[in-house]
Structure formats: C-alpha cells, structure tokens
Structure 1
Amino acid sequence: MPSTPAEDLLRELAPQVLGALVRRFGHFDTAEDAVQESLIAAADSWPRDGVPDSPRAWLITVASRRLTDLLRRDQARARREETAARWMLPEQWLAPAADRRQDADDTLILLFLCCHPALTPASQIALTLRAVGGLSTAEVARAFLVPEATMTRRISRGKQRIRDSGLRFAPPTAAERADRVAAVLHVLYLVFTEGYARTAGPGLLRADLTAEAIRLTRLVRRLLPDDPEVTGLLALMLLTDARAPARIGPHGELVPMAEQDRARWRADQIAEGVALVGEALPRGPVGPYQLQAAIAAVHDEAPSAAATDWAQITALYEVLLGLSDNPVVALNHAVAVAMSRGARAGLALLADLDGDTRLADDPRLPAARAHLWELIGERAAAREAYRMAAARSTNLAQQRYLNARADALADDAATG
C-alpha cells in the first residue's frame, strides 16, 4: 500500500527530530520513545488540522515536552539538567540555542553516533535502521531473520554501550572524520547487500532494505556532497539495484546476469548512476566504492552480456585489489580474468583462494569454479562444484538455482 505524503514527511523528519533531542538532552533511548510519541500525535492531528507551517519544529516541541515528562518521572530535575549538560556539544560544535537555526539537520551526527566504531557491526546496523531509518524493531528483526526478542536485546545493548561509554552526540574531530564516515558507508553498504542478496530465507531480494539503504545514502550525500566515496556508494547502489527487475524469474528463481532481459533494467537508475560515477572519479583519490560503481557501470552500459568489456572490468578489479585484501574482490577478479583471458586462467586464480579461511563456508567460491568448469566442458567437476555451492548456501533461491545447474549437467551426461 503506497504511503501518503504526510507519512513520507514524518519518515523524513523522524531522524532529524531524534537528532535534535539527543543533541539537546542526551538519553538516546528515552529520546527515541519521545519522538515515537510525537509521530503518533502528528499522525493523529495533521490529517484533521493540517500540516503545520514548520512540521519539524512542531515535532521537536511535542517530543521535547514528552521527553521532559519522561525524565521528570525517572529522576530529579537537578539530576536531569546535569545529565543533559554532559551531553551538550562543546562550544566549537554548537552555537548557543538562541542562535542555532531551527531547521538545522542533526541526522548526519545521529548516523555517526549509531555507526560509532565502539559499537559492534551488528549494533551499528540495528541502531541505524531503528533510529535513522525509522524501521520498527520487528521490521529490523525480520530483515535479518532473527527473533524480535534477539533484535530488541541487540538494540538495547547498543544503546547501553552509548550510555556507558559517554559517546558524545557530536561531529567527529578532524582526525576521526575519515574513519567515522567510512563506518557509516560500510553500514549502509551492508544493509544494501543484505537486501539485494539476502544471506538466508526463501527469497533472494528484500526491496525494502535496498530502498532504505539508497534513501539513507542519498541523505548522507546531501549532507556530504563533496565526498567522492559517498557519491560512489550511491552510484554503486543505483547501478546494482537497476538490475533487480530482471534478476528474479516468474517462479522466484534466480536469473544470472548473462541471461537477464536487459530491457527490464531500470534505465533511469543506470543513467543517474553513470552520471554519479563520472562526477566522483575525477575528484580523487579513488576509493573502493567508486571503483565498484565503475565496474557496475561497465556491466550496465553493455548492450548484451557478450558485448561486456571484460578487459576493462579486469583492469578495474586489479586497481581495487591494490586497495585492500578482500577475498571476494579477488574472486570477482578471477571471474573477470576468465571472461577476458580464458576460463583456465580464471581457475588458476581461484585455486589461490582455496586456503583463504574467510571463504571457507562461502558458496561463491565453488559456484564460480563450477561456472568456469562448465565453460570448458568439464561437466563432472562443474556438477560437483555446483552441489558444494548449494550445500553452503543458506538462501533457498540460490540453493534451487545451484542444484538446478547441477541437475542440468547430470541430465546432459545421461543423454550424452
């Protein structure tokens, strides 16, 4: 059911209101409760009375009153003021309240807080989706296929870690900025990846997660327009998500890129993604998200699988390999080499990854090997590798695809 304009506005304003309250009062969890109540009040009164001239200020006012009530219930006034003062930003970051713009957006600082390196990656993702994305705890739990009680504990531990550590609601220092932005982008990348190729469950895609990751990355880019890696990540998401309509067959089966109907790819997202890549790359230095986006652009601009410029993709992967020791990048590079220089060259590179424990249980390594064995006509080896990949996969759509490939090879052997 499509959302209404008022619902979209509340979704956009929720993290800004939460950021404003946490900046002013602290108490992350209590502030979140107050914001939720202000959203409920708005959903009740705005359709009847109309949207106020300054909806953000309206929400902050209502939420602040509710937060004050909650704090008064739990602690004496003096203690509340002392606690709130500890959470206030130092003077170099925050102007006096009377001088601060009413429409100042604290969402980026809220993202920095949720993605603070002191938190575990699981807590970073959960807090980001809950506080910034506006997903309920039940929705976050469903996204990652864990019980709601488990996700509740995970979110609670993250909030407790923020309280106990004294993490400040403040922009990072100059020395911290690069690491903190990198943490934010990594969390958004993980959210998108889980939505585009979920690790477990019956279906392959979670369109709600990919859409939320794209929305939040657009927000970060609006707040950090000159950061080329932010632009690169948005481009990567758009170019990858553009293929989603052709990635699933009529019965929910996985369709590999080489067999996809490219007419079903989203041309508007491809055009935007390609333009963003062209905008980000000249700024330098080139980072991993920009390079992955450039690879995705080469794929998306090819009129057919056969016309893909695999030599260019191979070269881009080689640059990417020079930036980090990532076994998945090495695996993708091996496949690109196979497509540009021959399957046996790719198989030799895959053999170098056999001892990498980071891929010990990953279905992608045997799946890639199966594909290359199949290309050179080694059906028995390919069939065995497909079976191994299926056994390692926890996603039912992927399992069905891999077992179907193995079955097809068995049928070929029986009729050959």
Structure 2
Amino acid sequence: MAPISTSPSRRGGNPRPNPEEGSKAADLKGTEGKASLFQSFNPYHNAGADDIPDEEEDYKHAGLKPAFPKDLVYEPYEPIHGVRDRGLFADRSKASLLKACSDVTDLTVNIGTELHGVDVLSLSPAQKDELALLVAERGVVVLRNQKLTGEQLRDWGRYFGPPERPLHQHPSSGVPKQRGLDELHVVWHEETMRPSEASYSRTDIWHSDVTYEVNPPGITGLYNILNPANGGGDTLFSSCYGLYDAFSPEMQTYLSSLSAVHSGLEQAEGAAAAGVHLRRPGIKTVHPLVRTNPVTGWKSIFVNPAFTREIVGVPKSESDAVLRMLYEMMIVNSDLTLRVKWQEGTLVLWANDSTVHSATYDHWTPDRSCRRHAIRFAATGEIPSLYLPDGTEGRSRREALWEVNGWPVEALRERRKQKANGGFKD
C-alpha cells in the first residue's frame, strides 16, 4: 500500500488522512471492498438510499438518518395567501424572551445574535413570538446546548408556520428513516461522500432554501446532532438586508422594479438522475428581486446562485451582469457575513427571506470521524412581495435604524455619493 500523506489534526496534533491523497488510501483498514468510498458527491443533489451506510446498529440517532421512501407522494403546493409571521404578534421590546436568557451576544453588527441559557422547549408562546421577531431583525439566532428529538423539533417548528401547511416538505431530499417525520430535512455527510470540485463551485451553493416555491420558507431551524470529530462543516450566512443597503438610492429603485425566475427543475432532475424518488414535481416561480419583510418593514435582495436563473424582461447580458454583481457582493462583502461554528446540540434559526447561506465541505476524510448529521425544519412563509400587507412599500434597514437613533437620514444618503480621498490604510 502506498504511504498515506498526513496533516496535523485540529485537535491534539495527531495525524489524519489527507483528503487529497484519498485515492491512495482506498484500502485503509475497515474499508476493503467499498467501491464507493471516494465517490464524488454533489451537494446540490441527494445521495440515493442505497448510498447511506446502515451498518452501525449502535448509532443512537439511526432513526434520523436519511431515507427516500417511494410511498411518499405530495400534491403540488397551492399558494397560501395572508400568511402572518409569528413575529408580528411579538412585544417589540422582547422583554419576556430576554428575561429567559443568561446573556445575549450580537455576533456581528449586521447579522447574527447568540442567546445563552435558553431551553427552547420551555419557551412560552409569547417568548416564541419574540424569538421570531429577533430572527426577523438579526437574520440569524444561535442557541447552544439544546436537547431535541425529531418529534420535538418538528412540533416546535410547526408553531412558526400557518395552520394550512405549517412546515415545508422537501420534494426530493432525505427524510428521517423514522416514519412520520417527513416534514424534516436531513443533512447527512459521511466518508463515502467526497465533495466534487468538478460538480459545483463554492459560489454555486450559496442559497436561500427552496426559493422556487410560491410560499418559500420563512423562519428555518437546523439542529446539529453529530459534528465532525476534527471540526469543520461551518455554515456561512450573508445579510440580504445589508446587501440592499449597500447600493445607492438610484440602484435600489432600479432593483426594486425587477423580478427574477427561481427554478427547482435542476434540483429535481439531478435527484431523479441519482435514482431518487420525487415526491412532488419540480417547478419554476417568479418572485420580486427585492422583497419586504412584513415583520420589520425592511427591504432585502431576494436572489441566490443556487435557484435564481434570470431576471425577467431585460436582455440576458443585463440579467447576467446584475446577478453576477449581486452574488459577488453578497458573498465577498465581509460586512454582511457571519460564520457559525457548530457543536452537538446547537440549534440555529434564520430568516430565510432575508439571508442566504452556504455550507462548508472542509471536513471530509475517508473515515467515520468526518460524519456530520443534522435535521432541519422550514416554516412556510408568506408569498414574497415588495409591499407590506397594507400596500405600502418597505424601506432600507439602515435608514430605519438611523431614524430610531435620531440620526439624519438625508446625510446618510448624501454620504453614499461622496468619494473618499486617499489610499488604503491597514
């Protein structure tokens, strides 16, 4: 056997197999005969049911591993009008929720808050409404040390959705093997699923979840069950409130006049090609490029590289240029972004309407230590609109916060037009 290249472990300095030498390590102890060990994995599409190892009978969360049952068939989703986000019912001071916290930490200025000392299962309806308001305002809320079963996460998540269809049911992704939990989406990465740089770029996988739906998810929660032993698998978030605010008033007006096509057809086709049963057919939907959050009244950009295909009614060259500019700014502008590091028992909630996110696939190794396991709920949200329910148009988050602080909004607008003199100073 060829020698295995090693690199220092993130913990303790112990060597570990180098993923770049994976093809040389195919006969590692315990992996003989596994032809799929180094099979490329495209995170856009789902692994087939036959690709998920089922040998560990002692894994205590085996019932939450992904399955693709062929007897699950969903009718095409009908639009739900008048969805009311639970944040609309909250006390704006959030006094009840904050009283339940031992500490509150804003992770960055523009996005992300961590609540300490909170057991989400003990929250009252009023506290959950205030939590929904906080998610709408801050984009991402992190809660550590939670202890949730699949049933508990499902039932807790249902609170945030409308009675007609509380939670989104994914048309093709893995659902828990334990029956009755198909409103949950399973994240499962393991040693037979090596990310393929030939199948996707890191830019491609930035997204808001299933934006091709007529009612895309609103508040969404991912609960981490198993973390890679050597770390990694972080999630990156970017604020689309902040992205809207990064433009001049003139550009904001132009972007607010546009709509874009969001498509789930490619995801469905990729899943079908992998032999995955489709529970609902793929669809395309047109949404406004700028939408207003009904809880905050703030505008955000609503496109993403994974599902947005084109801007409607403009030349292709213009559509491509505008989308490329938006994607570059949402991903590269560090003022807008947040990196969440996972621990077992971490629950992260995010506003799917006003953030985009991307997984990192830096944790792969050809052994079980790289495994990552999480389950997600996605509460059904409102149909995206540039306007608030009363017909008025939303506004800039930055301008709204300036007004709250008594600062001159007109001065802010003028400042955007001024060109600074001098070079960069580190």
Instruction: Report TM bin, short chain.
Output: under 0.3
Q: Which has the higher contact order (CA 8 A, sep 6+)?
A: 2
Larger radius of gyration: 1
Which structure carries more strand by proportion? 2
Which structure carries more helix by proportion? 1
